[in-house]
Amino acid sequence: MIRWWISALQLTELFVSTLVHLLYGFYIFSSAVAGDLSQALNELVFKPNTNAVVKEEEAGGTSAPAATTTNADDLPPIVLVHGIFGFGKGRLGGLSYFAGAEKKDERVLVPDLGSLTSIYDRARELFYYLKGGQVDYGEEHSKAYGHSQFGRVYEQGHYPEWDEDHPIHFVGHSAGAQVVRVLQQMLADKAFKGYENTSEDWVLSITSLSGAFNGTTRTYLDGMHPEDGRTMKPISLLQFCRLGVLIYDWLDIPWLKDYYNFGFDHFNMSWKKMGVWGLIDCLLGNAGPFASGDWILPDLTIQGSMRLNSHLQTFPNTYYFSYATKRTRTIMGYTVPSSIFGIHPMLFIRVLQMSQWRHPPDVPAPYKGYRDEDWQDNDGALNTISMTHPRLPIEHPCKMVVNDSDCRHLQPGIWYYKIVEGDHILFIVNRERAGVQFDLIYDSIFERCRKHVFRRVPTVPNEIQQ
Ligand SMILES: *[C@@H]1O[C@H](CO)[C@@H](O)[C@H](O)[C@H]1NC(C)=O
Ligand SMILES: *[C@@H]1O[C@H](CO)[C@@H](O)[C@H](O)[C@H]1NC(C)=O
Ligand SMILES: *[C@@H]1O[C@H](CO)[C@@H](O)[C@H](O)[C@H]1NC(C)=O
Ligand SMILES: CC(=O)N[C@H]1CO[C@H](CO)[C@@H](O)[C@@H]1O
């Protein structure tokens, strides 16, 4: 028994180093806290006069409706959906994943959907976060992947009136954009028991920031097998990540899990529920999310995206917009990082790595017509080709936008996209890094949602009072 405890201790140590790796080495976070501090200082010393558009507070929560106007309550909410390693409102001591962008509008929601859970599970969670009630992952899915069918309870939905006549705007970063597409498809397929009325028209618009539509070669660099896009190489960064997460969840330290949560509670991996043998079983790869493949990395491989995309539609009454980021350029036929300045130092290496990625010649290509060159432009986490619009198995309607003023008369059912010079985390966590671009991008997203994107309401004769 004692031996188990010793190895548990060692594993805890490993976990700490993995956590550091996770939070630091991966996409988000390294300068976040420092950035937050310096921002707080800035706001103390200087007036926040740079963003004329920032509305005073309000964003915190729609408490009692104000006596004078209830305007904010009539607006459809804008829901910001985080990506991998992301978190919602209230985690990490109140740090904002979207770097405070939620304060730019009166009605913004920032759900917490777990940082490593699969796209499917996040979409289910997001539905109940909005509608309220206990998360139902679906009987078939939960049996297939070995987790509980029911999850956390949202006593109070964040937008219980949500329906076809009260549709929502979604803004997704990275994997969050794909989560929203999966949710829209579920609504169209009427996939929520007890809600037989759902439809694709519950979603008014989807805006993607560096969205992961088409998979990323990053997953192979970090340890997914390029053969199948489902299993992990035995020695890789992702294996460390797996060990760290299993132990984190097994130790189940309440305050730590409140602070940051990988979102695997429905797998019952706490020591209280599965004991030491359960942990060993998970570590050996016989149980848990990493064994069944119900976590986010398989969904971000090219193969995984193809599996998802094969049943995701672009719907005719929804507006779609996407910002693809790029931190590379081509010099004499070689794709290289576009500069060493203005890019996060951790991401520089990753941009370089991805621009040099070659699909192993002895492994079948993920799809017919695959070419390494198409996948070399990237932002350190995703390939630019993957972020513009969904392309596989069939390409969805799209239109490139150069200047935001081209977007005044948007049509639904078409992916408008814009390519932005920036790395994968430019528009999250630390707004100082993006500078003026930060305000430009979020202001235009919120302005579009509020002014240019609406659905014509059929005019009922007796409502015309002229
Ligand atoms: C997880 O634990 C709950 C009770 O705490 C139980 O209802 C559920 O069936 C368990 N799920 C799995 C997959 O073991
Ligand atoms: C479904 O929608 C119709 C009208 O759109 C409404 O009358 C009905 O009550 C709804 N059913 C449920 C279960 O919400
Ligand atoms: C957009 O285009 C208009 C005219 O084509 C130009 O005047 C304006 O400066 C452009 N805006 C930006 C941000 O490039
Ligand atoms: C996995 C996937 O969706 N791949 C597509 C990404 O984009 C290229 C270029 O259009 C397509 O050919 C791929 O099929």
Ligand 3 centroid to Cα of residue 403, in Å, is: 6
* Separation CA 205–CA 317 (nearest Å): 9
User: Looking at the domain assignment, is residue 366 inside a domain?
Assistant: yes
- The DSSP bridge partners found for residue 206 are 170, 320
Residue nearest to atom 7 of ligand 1 (CA): 148
Query: What average pLDDT does range 395-411 have in this prediction?
Result: 79
Query: Strands (DSSP E) along 83-132, which ranges?
Result: 108-109
pLDDT band per the 50, 70, 90 thresholds, residue 42? very low
In a domain, 290, yes or no: yes
Q: What is the CA radius of gyration of the chain?
A: 22
Look up the CATH number of the domain holding residue 154. Answer: 3.40.50.1820
Give the burial class of 358: count Cβ atoms within 10 A of its Cβ; 0-12 exposed, 13-18 middle, 19 or more buried. Answer: exposed
Q: Does the beta carbon of 402 sit less than 6 angstroms from any atom of ligand 3? A: no
CB-ligand 3 contact for 436 (6 Å cutoff): no
Half-sphere exposure of 347 (CA within 13 A, CB side): 26
Which residues are paired to 334 by β-bridges? 331
Q: How many domains are there within the chain?
A: 1
Q: Is ligand 3 within 6 A of the CB of residue 403? A: yes
Q: Which structural domain, as residue segments, surrounds residue 112? A: 2-56+72-453
And the tokens for 125?
């969670």
3-state secondary structure 340-381: CCCCCHHHHHHHHHHHCCCCCCCCCCCCCCCCHHHHCCECCC
Q: What's residue 124's pLDDT? A: 96
Q: Give the pLDDT of residue 235.
A: 83
Task: With beta carbons less than 8 A apart as the criterion, state whether 344 and 425 touch.
Answer: yes
Which DSSP category does 117 fall into? B
Ligand 1 binding pocket (C-beta < 6 A) is 147-148, 268, 273
Residue 207: pLDDT band with limits 50, 70, 90 = very high
d(CA 385, CA 388): 6
- The residue nearest atom 13 of ligand 4, judged by CA position, is 392
Report if residue 461 sits inside a domain.
no
Looking from the CA of residue 405, the nearest atom of ligand 3 is 1
Task: Give the ligand whose atoms come closest to the C-alpha of residue 161.
Answer: 2
Q: Which listed ligand is nearest to 150 at the C-alpha? A: 1
Amino acid at 249: D
Q: How far apart are the first and last CA of the chain?
A: 83
Residue 464 domain flag: no
For CA atoms 455, 458, 463, 466, give the dihedral sign.
positive
Tokens encoding 34: 């420092």
Nearest-angstrom CA–CA distance, 271 and 184: 36
Does residue 463 sit in helix, strand or coil? helix
Q: Which two tokens stand for residue 6?
A: 């010793």
Entry pTM = 0.80
Residue of the nearest CA to atom 14 in ligand 3?
403
377-399 residue pLDDT tens:
887 888 888 888 887 777 888 88
Residue 148 CB less than 6 A away from ligand 2: no
Question: What is d(CA 93, CA 77) in angstroms, rounded to the nearest whole number?
Answer: 24
Average pLDDT over residues 365-387: 85
Q: How far apart are the CA of 124 and the centre of ligand 4, in A?
A: 26
* Chain centroid offset of residue 66 CA: 33
Residue 458 in any domain: the answer is: no
Residue 182, classed as helix, strand or coil, is helix
CA-195 nearest atom, ligand 2: 13
DSSP for 35-95? HHHHHHHHHHHS--TT-TTPPPS-TT---SPPSS--HHHHSPPEEEE--TT---TT-GGG-
Cis check: omega of the bond before 393, within 30 degrees of 0: yes
| Span 141-147, average pLDDT | 93
pLDDT band at 8 (very low <50, low <70, confident <90, very high): low
Cβ 197 under 6 angstroms from ligand 2 = yes
From CA 116, how far away is CA 122, in angstroms rounded?
A: 9
Tokens linked to 445 = 């997203």
Q: Are 164 and 201 in contact (CB under 8 A)?
A: yes
Asked if residue 463 belongs to a domain, the reply is: no
Q: Whose CA is nearest to atom 7 of ligand 4?
A: 391
| Test site for ligand 4: of 392, 394, 395, 417, most ligand atoms within 8 A of the Cβ | 392
Q: Say if CB 288 and CB 282 are below 8 A apart.
A: yes
Q: Which of 401, 402, 404, 405 to probe ligand 3 with, by most ligand atoms within 8 A of CB?
A: 405
> Does the C-beta of 215 come closer than 6 Å to ligand 4?
yes
Tokens of 1: 């028994």
Q: Is residue 216 part of a domain?
A: yes
Closest CA to 177 of 212, 216, 219: 212
Classify residue 207: in a domain, yes or no.
Answer: yes
Least confident among 209-218, 357-366, 424-433 = 424-433
Residues 6 or more apart whose CB falls under 8 angstroms from that of 373 comprise 335
Give per-residue pLDDT as tens, 100-114: 888 888 889 999 998
pLDDT tens digits, residue range 24-36?
444 344 334 344 4
Task: Give the whole-angstrom CA distance, residue 205 versus residue 38.
Answer: 34
